Structures are given as structure tokens and as C-alpha cells.
Amino acid sequence: MSGNRQEGKRKIHSLNREITAIFICIMALTVSACILVNSLFLEKVYTREKQDEILSVFNKLNDYGSDVDSHAEELETLCGTHNISFALLSSIYAPVKIISYEPEELLIRELKRVLFDMVTEETVIKPGEYSVYKLKDEGRKTDYLEIVGILNSGSFVLLRTPLESIRVSAGIANRFLLYIGLGGMIISAVVIFLFTRKISKPILSLAEISERMSEMDFEARYTGKDKTEIAVLGQSINKMSDNLKKAFGELKSANAELKKDNELKTEIDNMRKEFISNVSHELKTPIALIQGYAEGLKEGISDETERDYYCDVIMDEAMKMNDMVKKLLNLNQLEWGDDVLTKETFDVCELVKNITASFDIITSQNDVEVNIWGLKQAHVCADEFKIEEVFKNYFSNALNHVKSDTKKRIDVAIEKAENEIKVSVFNTGDRIPDESLPHLFEKFYKVDKARTREYGGSGVGLSIVKAIMEAHQKEYGVYNTNEGVCFWFVLDSADTEET
């Protein structure tokens, strides 16, 4: 998970670098385009500008007419400003007026060349007209822009300016633009990187939040305080996260309920199958006995004593089946919560005395000594009818299993344990195997099936005890002692009085 999250962060940071690289490329292309345009067109533009400057001087000379000398200072300033040299010839015999920033002999030689060319080529230039030339001085290796014309006054004029300065200026401009462009690109790259980093930071936060949401972690929140569209998106993601968290929680609850229902259904099916199997097994023997003895009666047994015996067996087995069915119905009601507890306050010591007294005949016939010790009076809060059934099951179970080499004994103890009353029923006899102790309270579980059949046990009594005590939400259990076995349960105490 952490690796994926780090990879996501790297991708977001690469977006920052990508935007910066795109801006740098755009700037580099712009600067390159400017340099290319300068290289291709700057000289032409400068040449055009120079031509316009020379023409402006030509027009000035036209405006001065014959009175050029009085404007000599102005002409000198104008020519110096625009780096223009000129030679003026009023007539064939008049001296040449020259303003030049290069050797005068060069200008005079050029003037002679132009005049000679005009004569040989019979070039006709009328007053007020001019011709523009671009030529190369092979001696100085310099290109010049020249205007040759005749003023309105009839004077012949030669104006020229070197173009080398234009190329030098263009080169300087291009280099300057390159330096400025490189510096601008570096500064802009830093500014753009910082700016895009500021923009990408909330985007990175949103990416991390969405990634955590994809992993079902809805605790991440967008905490940006700005008012941009990204903040609006962050708030929307927060709301979506809350809604998803709520929906996911509801879905989990629904799944848990569905799982619980499926488990309950499976448990019910298993219990139903187990119940049918156990009941079928338990009813198989008494039904077989009833069928067998009924067939014997049908065959017409003549001995009255034997006939009575057959009838007694049938009645006894039918009574056992009836008792088991009643217990199963009672257990079913307890396990499914259909039998509601009716809690009241009663004296559990009195209940124990009454139940043990009802077994006096059986205990006397079997030479069983019954001892009740502990509290003389103990009021508890419970369902008296169901606790009576719990104690009866414990006591009858003790009677069925009590035995001793010396004297049979059942001890009933009623003790105080903090805010509870503990009732124990001990009987001398064989210890229960350790592996059987955890299963004693399961339906139809029997440690010794032959002996259980002997005293008519159904294997349901202790299951009823379990259901009743769990309905009361109180503890119960069994443990072995050196002399026998002890079953116990606890109830909430109301008040106690010790013996």
C-alpha cells in the first residue's frame, strides 16, 4: 500500500516537472523564433529605415534649395545622427560640398564613378528625382546604401551610409535577445516550478485521498482553505468520502446481519438434523419394546402374571416416551426464548428442603443419606418454577448415580458467594471421565448409555438445566471430587441469613 502511494506521489511530482518543461520549451521556441526572425528580416527592416533616413536628408536638401550653406550646421548634425555622408555638386565648375565621416577622397571617387556611369549608360535623372543603389566597396569590404539624385535647384547630390553597422546591430540584438531569453528562461523556470508546485500540492493531496478511499480508508480529509476550483473539488471529495463511509458501514452491517442469518439458518438446520437423529435414536428402543410386547400380547399369552408384566413394560416405555417428549418441548421453548422468565424473590433453602423431602421414600428405599448444609435462609431473584426444575434434575441425577462402598451420600450445599447464592449437589460414586465433562450439558449426551437406560434417563435433563441457567444469564457446571461428582449453579442474592 505504501509503495503504491509513493508511486502516486512521484507521478504527481512529474506533472510539476512536465508543466515546467513545457513552459521552458515554449519560451525556448519563442526566443529561437525571435532570433530567426531577426536574422532573416532585421537587416531588411534596418535597410528600409536607413533608406527612409537618407530620403529625409534628400528632401531636406530639396527644401533648402540653393541656400545649402546657411544650413550647413543643421545638415552636419542630421548626417552625424544617421551616419550619412553626402557630396553636393552645384555645377561642373563649382567645388564639391562634402559632409563625410570617412575619407573625402573616397566620397569624391565614388561621386566621379557615379557621374561617369550616368554618362556612359545615358542614365537620365530629372530634377527632384533620385535612384537608390546597394553596392559593395571591394576595397573596404563594406556594403553601402546610396541615393543619387538631382535636387530641384539643379545640384547633383550623392548620399550614402554603410550597412555594416546594420549587420553589427542585428548581431548584437540577436545576442542580447539570446542572453535575455536564456536568463528569462532560467528565472521563469524557477518561478513556474514554484507556481506549479503550489498548484500540484493540493492535487497531490486529492490524489492521496482518492487512493486511500480506493483502499476503503475514509478518514482522510482535504483541509485546504483556499477558494479555488481545487478546494471545491476537495470539499466534494470530503462529502463523497462521508457518504461512502456511511454507505460502506451500512453495507457491512447488512452483510454482518446476512452472515448472522445464514449462520443461524445453518445452525437451525444442523440442530434440526441432530434433533431428528437423536429423537429417532432415543425412540427406537422404547418403540421396539412396545412393539415386541404388544405382539406378544396379541399372540395370546395365557399366563396372567406374564401378561401383566408385558402390560407394565408397555406402560412404562410409553410413560418414558411421554416424559421425553414433554422435556423436549420444554427445552425447545427455552432455547428459542418462547418461554418467558417470571422472576420473583423466593427462599431457595425452602425450595431445596421441599424437593428433597419429596424424594424421601426413594432415598430411604435406596439407603441414601441426604445432608443439607450451609445457609438456613437464602432469598434469591429468579424464576422459581424453572429453578425448581434445575434442582430436581441435579438431585434426580445424583440419586441415579449415587453409590459407595461404605454409605451412599448426597450433600446439598447452599453458600454465599459475594452477591450470589451458590447451590451444589454432591453424590458419592464414580467420577465422570474428564473428556466427558465438557459434553454433559449437550442434548442426548450420555456417559454410560446402558446405565442411563436402566434408570430411564432421556439425556435431555441437563440440557434443560443449561437452557434455564443461560436464560437467567448465570453460571453453572460440574466437577469431580475424590469421592464423587458435584453439580452446581448460582443465582442472584436478595438477602441471606447464615446458620
Q: Which domains are seen in the chain, by residue range?
A: 2-170 (3.30.450), 340-498 (3.30.565.10)
Q: What is the mean pLDDT of the chain?
A: 78
Q: Is the Cβ–Cβ distance between 220 and 212 less than 8 Å? A: yes
Calculate mean pLDDT across residues 425-431: 92
**Scanning the structure block, which residue is given the C-alpha cell 516537472?**
17
Q: Is 347 helix (H, G, I), strand (E, B) or coil?
A: strand
Give the pLDDT score at 228. 72
**Least confidently predicted of 13-22, 159-168, 441-450:** 441-450
Q: Is 474 helix (H, G, I), strand (E, B) or coil?
A: coil
Q: Which three cell numbers stand for residue 382?
A: 429468579
Give the pLDDT score at 335. 61
**Least confidently predicted of 188-192, 276-280, 309-313, 345-349:** 276-280
For residue 146, pLDDT beyond 50:
yes
Give the pLDDT score at 42. 76
- Euclidean distance between CA atoms 87 and 157, whole angstroms: 6
Give the pLDDT score at 490. 95
Tens of pLDDT, residues 12-45 = 446 677 777 888 888 888 888 887 887 787 778 8
Q: Is the Cβ–Cβ distance between 327 and 458 less than 8 Å? A: yes
Calculate mean pLDDT across residues 273-296: 69
The partner residues of 295 in beta bridges, in order of sequence, read none
Give the pLDDT score at 378. 92
Give the pLDDT score at 336. 60
Tens of pLDDT, residues 34-82 = 878 877 877 788 788 888 888 888 888 888 777 777 777 888 887 877 7
Tens of pLDDT, residues 359-386 = 888 888 889 999 999 999 999 999 898 8
Query: Could you give the C-alpha distances from 378 to 305, 413, 424, in angstroms and in order?
Result: 51, 12, 14
For residue 117, pLDDT beyond 70:
no
0.85 cut: is pTM over it?
no
Give the pLDDT score at 452. 43
Confidence category of residue 280, pLDDT binned at 50, 70, 90: low
Query: Could you give the C-alpha distances from 74 to 55, 162, 327, in angstroms and in order?
Result: 16, 21, 138
- Euclidean distance between CA atoms 392 and 487, whole angstroms: 12
Amino acid at 361: I
Range ranked top by mean pLDDT from 169-173, 245-249, 477-481:
477-481
For residue 244, pLDDT beyond 90:
no
Give the pLDDT score at 344. 92
Classify residue 457 by burial, with Cβ atoms within 10 Å: 0-12, 13-18, 19+.
buried
For residue 263, pLDDT beyond 70:
yes
Give the pLDDT score at 451. 43
Confidence category of residue 274, pLDDT binned at 50, 70, 90: low
469's CB contacts (< 8 A; 6+ apart) are: 390, 475, 476, 489
Calculate mean pLDDT across residues 180-205: 79
Q: Is the Cβ–Cβ distance between 478 and 487 less than 8 Å? A: yes
Confidence category of residue 8, pLDDT binned at 50, 70, 90: very low
Give the pLDDT score at 14. 61
- Euclidean distance between CA atoms 430 and 403, whole angstroms: 8
Tens of pLDDT, residues 74-110 = 888 878 777 788 787 776 655 667 776 677 677 777 7
Range ranked top by mean pLDDT from 282-296, 304-318, 353-367, 451-465:
353-367
Query: Could you give the C-alpha distances from 367 to 14, 360, 397, 451, 463, in angstroms and in order?
Result: 96, 10, 16, 19, 29
Sheet-wide strand order for 85-89: 96-99, 85-89, 156-162, 142-150, 130-137
The residue count for the chain: 499
Query: Could you give the C-alpha distances from 138 to 106, 141, 401, 471, in angstroms and in order?
Result: 12, 5, 142, 124
Which has the closest alpha carbon to 205: 227, 186, 224, 226?
224
**Least confidently predicted of 118-127, 332-341, 383-392, 468-477:** 118-127
Calculate mean pLDDT across residues 394-410: 87
For residue 11, pLDDT beyond 60:
no
**Least confidently predicted of 157-166, 201-210, 296-305, 443-452:** 443-452
Give the pLDDT score at 480. 93
* DSSP string of 212-256, one letter each residue: HHHTT-----------SHHHHHHHHHHHHHHHHHHHHHHHHHHHH
Give the pLDDT score at 476. 94
Query: Could you give the C-alpha distances from 333 to 301, 336, 381, 464, in angstroms and in order?
Result: 43, 5, 21, 10
Range ranked top by mean pLDDT from 236-245, 271-280, 455-464:
236-245
Q: What percent of the chain has pLDDT over 90?
A: 13
- Euclidean distance between CA atoms 472 and 340, whole angstroms: 10
Give the pLDDT score at 410. 94
For residue 194, pLDDT beyond 50:
yes
Give the pLDDT score at 459. 64
